[in-house]
Amino acid sequence: MILNNNVYHTSGNIPKHQYVWADLSLISHASGWAPAVWFGISSIPGRVWGLHLLLESGAVYRNVPPHGVSFSPNPPNWSPKDAQLWDCYSSEFSTIEYDYLSEMRCKTIPNGDWGRYLFTVVPYGEGFSGYPEQAKEFFFIQLDTGRLVILPTNRVLFRDQSFTRDIEIPLKVSDTIFRCE
């Protein structure tokens, strides 16, 4: 497990940099897609996640929306709603790449798109995380289409060929706080 012991406020590192393509229309007066290195993220409540990129020119461009990057130079059309289900709700977060899930195949719910797990972001320090039915971790996933999607844990199914099976278990939303005192 790669665990950042850092508490991030507004901006922070991702566990491993990623080679991506940036939508030039979102960052310049040009169009098309250009190679970039994605190395950080930002979280501002009420907005989509912001991605921090190093461009080939050496420039750093911050807060690129997740629909503005791709893992291929010819991606399908993508909107903010396609890339992310919920706006950010905390400016404080931590990033983690779970060893067991690292690069594991996963499927999005309900769309059924397949991809690979990249890492998880855990928001905290705001009112939502204190309530089990509101607390969320967000999986960042590289879809097979080349696009990035960011989903809460209840919108992703993982495939471990040696363990998981194609069965349905009607899970409930966690809504209980357990205490021993």
Reported as a single tens digit per residue, the pLDDT across 69-108 is 999 999 999 999 999 998 999 999 999 999 999 999 999 9
Q: What is the amino acid identity at position 72?
A: S
Q: Give the mean model confidence (pLDDT) for residues 114-139.
A: 81
User: Cα separations (Å) of 75 from 22, 60, 78, 79, 166?
Assistant: 11, 22, 8, 12, 29
Q: What is the mean pLDDT of the chain?
A: 89
DSSP state of 27: H
pLDDT at 126 over 80: no
Give the distance from CA 111 to its chain's centroid. Answer: 16
CA-closest candidate to residue 123, choices 7, 13, 21: 7
Whether 135 and 129 have beta carbons less than 8 Å apart is answered as yes
Ranges of each domain in the chain: 2-74+82-159
Residues 6 or more apart whose CB falls under 8 angstroms from that of 139 comprise 106, 117, 118, 120, 150, 151, 152, 153, 156
Q: Report the C-alpha gap between 142 and 160 in whole angstroms.
A: 17
Name the pTM for this structure. 0.89
